[in-house]
């Protein structure tokens, strides 16, 4: 494992291996030009919500939710725990950076799990682990309240995700409860730390991608960085206090037979602030069958792909360097 960016970013100029090719670079447009990403008030009436969430998921594949019922102290304590975590001395994090294939264990890496093979590195460190209660024994023990706070937040994130999926089911005409069990069995946490970068115009925190999941629930602070691709243009997702960002995952796009749109997004860096984001990815169990829901398939809207196991898709996803469209290719009809 190479050294975390956070451990050396202050001491040197931007290494060559972090410079993206010109067409992928963010260039000078670091400040979002407008904020048209939908913000949905979950306190609205159900009829309005179904309509608004469906529209946002079809047009952007990404939206923010406010008035969602998750206690603000759980959100702020979670961010605070991750600030403390990333500030811990290296020796406190060393055991988490050890290479392991055990899916239950925590992994702290710089850039991606594929650091040694990738051509260009990402300007971030990331901590990942499953949120299932059986895995809590492997979670960090420092800072002191990590397990308590992150467990509380992950329960809230899953509840919120399921509530949004129910609204989406109603909107597209998928039966009630479709996502309740197997399809959202694995909740995975990813905590991203993007340190200040000497030249944000050349680097990326994460390049353009779809999340290979059902739904992603993201917690960010007041520092911008997340952008979504809409009609060929990058739009900044403006941080709103106490909001969650919700992303339609690529697998949900597949299940909805393209009625919902997965959001292509990326993260840009900045030269002055540390940025931390916490993502909760709602993932199917590895052996669950993914296919366009029967209720959305019709003679005029034939299934875009055959059924496959989620783990088959993920194997392709990794071997295709995180390209979801290529990963789906073998299953397309
Ligand atoms: C991700 C992601 C966005 C962010 O982790 O997949 O898109 O704002 N993160 O960090
Ligand atoms: Ni993402």
Render pLDDT for 59-80 as a digit per residue (tens, 0 to 9): 999 999 999 999 999 999 999 9
SS3 276: strand
Ligand nearest to the CA of 239: 1
Per-residue confidence at 31, pLDDT binned at 50, 70, 90?
low
194 CA: nearest ligand 1 atom: 10
Q: Give the model's confidence band at 99: pLDDT under 50 very low, under 70 low, under 90 confident, else very high.
A: confident
Give the mean model confidence (pLDDT) for residues 134-146.
96
210-226 pLDDT tens trace: 999 999 999 999 999 99
Between residues 91 and 153, the one the model is more confident about:
153
Higher per-residue confidence, 41 vs 36: 41
Q: What is the pLDDT of residues 20-30, one digit of tens each?
A: 999 999 987 65
253-279 pLDDT per residue, tens:
999 999 999 999 999 999 999 999 999
Is 215:40 a contact under the CB 8 Å cutoff? no
Ordered by start, the domain boundaries in the chain are 29-287
What is the Å distance from ligand 1's center to 67 Cα? 22
Q: Can you state the angle between helices 146-172 and 72-87, rounded to 10 degrees?
A: 130
CB atoms near residue 137 (< 10 Å): 10
Mean pLDDT within 92-112: 89
Residue 126 CA: nearest ligand 1 atom is 5
| DSSP, res 264 | P
Q: Return the pLDDT at 134.
A: 95
DSSP one-letter code for 218: E
CA of 216, closest atom in ligand 1? 6
Nearest to 32 by CA among 228, 322, 271: 228
Q: Residue 289: what pLDDT? A: 97
CA gap 209, 206 in Å, rounded: 8
Angle at the Cα of 60 from the Cα atoms of 44 and 224, rounded to 5 degrees: 90
> For 297-318, what is each residue's pLDDT tens digit?
999 999 999 999 999 999 999 9
Q: Which protein residue's CA is at the shortest distance from atom 1 of ligand 1?
A: 279
Please name which ligand lies nearest the alpha carbon of 279.
Answer: 1
User: How many residues make up the chain in this entry?
Assistant: 333
What's the average model confidence in pLDDT over 191-203?
Answer: 96
CATH architecture of the domain with range 29-287:
Sandwich (2.60)
Return d(Cα 98, Cα 191) in angstroms, integer. 17
Q: What distance in angstroms lies between residue 245's CA and the mean position of ligand 2's atoms?
A: 11
How many angstroms separate the alpha carbon of residue 301 from the centre of ligand 1? 32
- CA-based nearest residue to 58, from 265, 260, 252, 257: 260
Q: How many Cβ atoms from other residues are within 10 Å of residue 98's Cβ?
A: 11
Distance CA 122, CA 207 (A): 8
| Helix H or strand E segment including 254 | helix 250-255
Q: What is the pLDDT of residue 176?
A: 96
pLDDT reported for residue 36: 87
Between the CA of 172 and the centroid of ligand 2 the distance, in Å, is 23
**C-alpha span between 293 and 178 (Å, rounded):** 9
Integer Cα distance of 157 and 153 in angstroms:
6
The answer to whether the CB of 256 falls within 8 A of the CB of 292 is yes
Taking the CB of residue 233, how many other CB atoms lie within 10 A of it? 11
The ligand 1 site (C-beta within 6 Å) comprises 190, 192, 206, 211, 218, 220, 225-226, 265, 267, 277, 279
Dihedral sign, Cα of residue 64, residue 286, residue 173, residue 328: positive
């Amino acid at each position: 494992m190479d050294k975390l960016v956070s451990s050396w970013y202050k001491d040197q100029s931007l290494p060559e291996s972090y410079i993206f090719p010109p067409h992928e670079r963010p260039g000078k447009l670091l400040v979002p030009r407008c904020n048209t990403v939908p913000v949905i008030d979950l306190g609205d009436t159900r009829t309005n919500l179904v309509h608004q969430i469906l529209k946002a998921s079809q047009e952007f594949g990404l939206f923010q939710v406010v008035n969602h019922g998750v206690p603000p102290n759980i959100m702020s304590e979670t961010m605070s725990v991750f600030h403390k975590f990333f500030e811990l001395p290296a020796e406190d994090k060393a055991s988490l950076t050890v290479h392991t294939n055990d899916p239950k264990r925590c992994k702290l890496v710089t850039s991606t799990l594929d650091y040694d093979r990738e051509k260009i590195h990402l300007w971030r460190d990331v901590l990942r682990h499953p949120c299932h209660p059986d895995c809590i024994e492997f979670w960090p023990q420092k800072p002191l309240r990590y397990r308590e706070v992150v467990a509380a937040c992950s329960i809230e994130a899953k509840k919120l995700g399921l509530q949004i999926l129910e609204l989406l089911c109603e909107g597209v005409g998928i039966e009630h409860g479709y996502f309740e069990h197997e399809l959202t069995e694995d909740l995975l946490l990813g905590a991203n730390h993007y340190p200040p970068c000497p030249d944000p115009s050349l680097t990326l925190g994460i390049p353009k991608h779809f999340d290979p999941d059902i739904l992603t629930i993201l917690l960010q602070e007041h520092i911008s960085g997340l952008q979504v691709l809409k009609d060929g243009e990058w739009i900044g997702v403006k941080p709103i206090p106490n909001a969650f960002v919700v992303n339609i995952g690529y697998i949900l796009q597949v299940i909805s037979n393209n009625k919902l749109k997965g959001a292509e997004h990326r993260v840009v860096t900045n030269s002055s602030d540390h940025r931390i984001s916490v993502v909760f990815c709602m993932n199917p169990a590895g052996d669950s069958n993914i296919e366009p829901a029967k209720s959305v398939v019709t003679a005029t809207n034939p299934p875009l792909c055959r059924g496959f196991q989620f783990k088959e898709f993920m194997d392709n996803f990794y071997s295709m360097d995180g390209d979801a469209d290529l990963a789906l290719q073998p299953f397309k009809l």
